[in-house]
Amino acid sequence: MKLEAYFKSVLEQDRAAVVICDLQHEIIYMNPAAIENYEKYGGAALLGKSLLDCHAPESRERINEVVAWFEEKPDHNIVFTSHDERKNKDVYMVALRDDSRALIGYYEKHEYRNPESGKRYDLS
């Protein structure tokens, strides 16, 4: 089995929204959590659309600034962008790079801060 299938499965199973964009800001992938999370904005219909169209002008400017920073150096790879108090999560933009460390895109990463409410190893 190709390694790509494993990586895709990791994203597909993640409960946090993952939206991947190319360098033209086109949304090229949304995991199921992202499709559900952004349903009120179009959900899966956002695939192939510009991420910039989903944001206000100030946010578009910030996204472009971060991508330019990613392009400056191969070790410029993650930027904290916001904290959502209501959902108790931090949001980051993360660079995506190919084997030569060239920038090929970016994604939005959500890190929830609430402790897990389920029981440990509950298989029921």
CATH architecture of 10-112: 2-Layer Sandwich (3.30)
φ, ψ for residue 112 (rounded to 5)? -80, 140
Domain boundary assignment for the chain: 10-112
Give 89-92 contacts, CB < 8 A, sequence gap 24+.
89/16, 89/113
Q: Is residue 10 a contact partner of residue 32, using CB atoms and an 8 Å limit?
A: no
Q: How many residues comprise the chain?
A: 124
Q: How far apart are alpha carbons 107 and 20 in whole angstroms?
A: 4
pLDDT tens by residue, the chain, 124 residues: 688 999 999 999 999 999 999 999 999 999 999 999 999 999 999 999 999 998 999 999 999 999 999 999 999 999 999 999 999 999 999 999 999 999 999 999 999 988 888 898 888 8
